[in-house]
Structure 1
Amino acid sequence: MSAGSPSRASGWRAWLLTDTPASRRQAALGLAYRRWRRFAGNPLSLFGLAILLLLVAFAAFGPLVAPHDPLRQVLSDRLLPPGSASHWLGTDQLGRDILSRLIYGARITLSIAMLVVIVVVPLGLAIGTVAGFFGGWVDIVLMRITDVALAFPKIVLALAFAAALGPGVINAVVAISITAWPAYARLARAETLRLVEADFIHVARLQGASRMRIVLRYIVPLCASSVIVRATLDMAGVILTVAGLGFLGLGAQPPSPEWGYMVASGRNVLLNAWWVATIPGCAILAVSLAFNLLGDGLRDVFDPRHGD
């Protein structure tokens, strides 16, 4: 059995890496395997992926792994330093366990970031591909709207919309989404202009494919990889914007354990109890760095200049 396992593994590897796949399924699996090998060859990208998987695990299983209730106040345990048996990362001004609040806060941070991506990626992809494919007055109108949106600093515009809409998680998602979609529209338009003159697009036209079918069947899937890589790289900025809104009281509201709010609540005791603000700040730094590392790895994987 042990002698056959390496042979079986090499057989699967040869089947995946063959230059003459016998089916679409084999070709798709082979492409995915090649991309995974390229991604796994970058230790920093794997490190970023590991951090994000840990974040997802905390978000999914927070109630099972958190040692305490994140909202429970024990005033007799207020401002305990890290390292105690019952509070590994210490407590805040109200005696709440910081580790438990970090674990539950991962759910809020990940939810906001995912909601932003769900909104801005399809919106930017739709606007960019339509503008690039149809051209003419459609392109002019959509890109001028995009230029106007890009003219404002994203963080300032997000703060303005968040202040106008009022505090809350949903309003924070809307405010960030309004400021984030133009970059994806620009990228999708550039990719569409590159693809629209390709030979296979001309062949599809000659075969009678409608404009909408060409856009949905060919243009959008080929633009999606670049947009997804951009979204992964932008997630660090989204996390920082979410934390900034929370720090200013425009994001998730207390007593919710949002990381930006945790930093804000600890700034008044920073000199006496550094861990209250520093530990959630380090969590924000780690997650932002993880998204950047993952985005760099995905960019290398989907870079068309690299062969598969």
Structure 2
Amino acid sequence: MAFSAVRWLTDTTPASRLQANAGRSYALTRALLRNPLAALGLFIIIALVLTALFAPWVAHYPPNAQELGDRLLPPSGAHWMGTDELGRDIYSRVVYGARITLLIVVLVAVITAPLGLIVGAVSGYFGGWIDRVLMGITDMFLSMPKLILALAFVAALGPGIENAVIAIAITAWPPYARIARSEVLTFRGAEFISAVQIQGASSARVIFNHVLPLCYSSMIIRVTLDMAGIILIAAGLGFLGLGAQPPLPEWGAMISRGRSYILDQWWVATMPGFAIIIVSLGFCFLGDGLRDVLDPKHSSDR
């Protein structure tokens, strides 16, 4: 029975689109699991998502519950990661902070990837002055450090999660545009594009139905690899007080409040720092694994 299911999923001549998609998904998952680091990264990301979804059941205490009699307690059986200066359980705050981190990552990815993909595809498809204008704007953003540019936008918009997401998204889309443009330039003059144009398809239809789908694999790789940088920028904004505002349990803000106790009560700042490092490594490992699976050129070069 199991052998029949595997054979059905991996059939080289699928009978339907559903069967083809199932076969590709199975092959992708199997290839990822063969890579130990990619499998570890996938496990970390799944754990992050599950932790965010089931935070009320995973955490031991409410994230903002204060108990001044238990302030600055070291890690123990009652408080796995200790308590902070207000007696709040750090483990519970790290668990609920996964929700904020996941929210920022998802919102930034939803904004930046489609924006950069469309800008790059339009630039590469039309060329000429459209290409020069769009890539000129892209190069202007690329020439500025992401964190400094994000700080400038947040300072102008004001602190808060929403403004932090907007600021990070504004600074993160140019690399996607560059990648999409380079992808489009490789097949802009291909025969299948000419055939669609001869049939009378509009430029918008060609771009959205035939050009953009060919860029998805490189975009998925880039988005996954960029997640670590997005998490670090969001944590940096929170550390400076420009991201999520108290009493929200944002990891960067937790590190900022714990830096005053770093020598004597090291766990206050260290525990959320470990969370940032582990999640960032998870996205990096998964992104490397996806690059090996989805980019044949990269795999052959290695």
For the criterion TM > 0.5, the same-fold answer is yes
Cα-to-partner distance string for 1:235-280 (whole Å, 9 max, x where unaligned): 0000000000000000001111100000011100111100000010
Q: Which amino acid aligns with 2:188?
A: V
Shift of 1:206: 2.4
Match 2:186 to one of 178, 194, 201 = 194
Distance 2:55 2:16 in 1: 43
Shift of 1:214: 1.0
Task: Name the residue aligned to 1:249.
Answer: 241
Q: Which amino acid aligns with 2:143?
A: A
Distance 1:177 1:231 in 2: 12
Distance 1:188 1:261 in 2: 35
Q: What is the number of residues matched between the two proteins?
A: 299
Task: Name the residue aligned to 2:28.
Answer: 35
Matched, 1:174 2:166: yes
Q: Which amino acid aligns with 2:72?
A: L
RMSD: 1.3
Match 2:149 to one of 138, 150, 157 = 157
Task: Name the residue aligned to 2:93.
Answer: 101
Matched, 1:51 2:44: yes
Task: Name the residue aligned to 1:272.
Answer: 264
Distance 1:276 1:195 in 2: 53
Match 2:54 to one of 61, 67, 83 = 61
Shift of 1:29: 2.3
Task: Name the residue aligned to 1:76.
Answer: 69
Distance 2:149 2:16 in 1: 50
Q: Where does structure 1 lack aligned partners over 5 or more consecutive residues?
A: 1-7
Distance 2:54 2:21 in 1: 33
Return the TM-score normalized by structure 2. Answer: 0.96
Matched, 1:126 2:118: yes
Distance 1:45 1:296 in 2: 7
Return the TM-score normalized by structure 1. Answer: 0.94
Q: Which amino acid aligns with 1:71?
A: N
* Larger displacement relative to structure 2 (198-207 or 263-272): 198-207
Cα-to-partner distance string for 1:208-229 (whole Å, 9 max, x where unaligned): 2221111111111111221121
Task: Name the residue aligned to 1:3.
Answer: none
Shift of 1:19: 2.6
Distance 2:127 2:191 in 1: 19
Distance 2:244 2:94 in 1: 14
Shift of 1:207: 2.4
Shift of 1:73: 1.0
